[in-house]
């Protein structure tokens, strides 16, 4: 299984989108500053996950979330509405 995830920095409130096959290890990697892209925002909190059977599908979804504003806006709305 492959996962697309959103994490949010508890210090800067920045969002980061990524994909992985091991979500637990990946979040640990972000929070130990092992990732160049996210080391400045430690600690990070997992706020959203989608599961995919295909790595290709997960990568396509990650790219849509990173580069297409409407996709990311929709996910942000889903997260916001789930917290109500």
- pLDDT digit string (tens) for 12-50? 999 999 999 999 999 999 999 988 999 999 999 999 999
> For 33-43, what is each residue's pLDDT tens digit?
988 999 999 99
Confidence (pTM):
0.85
CATH 3.40.1440 fits 2-83, yes or no: yes
Strand partners of residue 50:
4
d(CA 51, CA 3): 5
DSSP state of 35: S
């Amino acid at each position: 299984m492959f996962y697309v995830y959103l994490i949010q920095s508890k210090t800067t409130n920045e969002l980061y989108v990524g994909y992985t096959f091991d979500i637990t290890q990946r979040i640990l990697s972000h929070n130990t500053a092992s990732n160049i892209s996210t080391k400045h925002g430690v600690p990070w909190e997992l706020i959203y996950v989608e599961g995919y059977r295909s790595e290709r599908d997960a990568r396509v979804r990650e790219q849509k979330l990173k580069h297409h504003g409407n996709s990311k806006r929709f996910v942000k709305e889903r997260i916001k509405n789930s917290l109500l």
